[in-house]
Amino acid sequence: MKILFDHGTPAPLRRHLAEHTVDRAAERGWELLENGELIRRAALEGYQVIVTTDQNMRHQQNLSGSRLAIVVLMTTAWPRIRHRTKQIRAAIEEARPGHVREVQI
């Protein structure tokens, strides 16, 4: 699966998703894009999931008809996230296009 990390998603999480292709928005030069443009570009580039810590993204964007799924981590704190990597992997695997999943951490 092709996954894009938004700018707030801790980079070390990538190591726990080795079976997927994971890129960071900053690596693509997309760190300053607004959510709508980020979603549009990610879809055009074939990403299937955006992992973000932006809890407002689900309220700001209409994902109906989108090929992307969004997984929202409810914190940016890596010390807390690293204990929930199995839960995050499961949320990514279960993510469906046009839907948002929140991972409580």
Tens of pLDDT, residue by residue over 23-75, are 999 999 999 998 889 999 999 999 999 999 998 876 666 677 788 999 999 99
Q: What is the extent of the structural domain holding 29?
A: 2-103
How far apart CA 93 and CA 78 sit, in angstroms, is: 20
Contact 98, 39 (CB under 8 A): no
Residues 78-103 have pLDDT tens digits of 999 999 999 999 999 999 999 999 99
Would you put residue 6 in left (φ > 0), alpha (ψ -120 to 50) or beta? Answer: beta
Query: Which pTM was predicted?
Result: 0.92
How many domains, in total, are found in the chain? 1
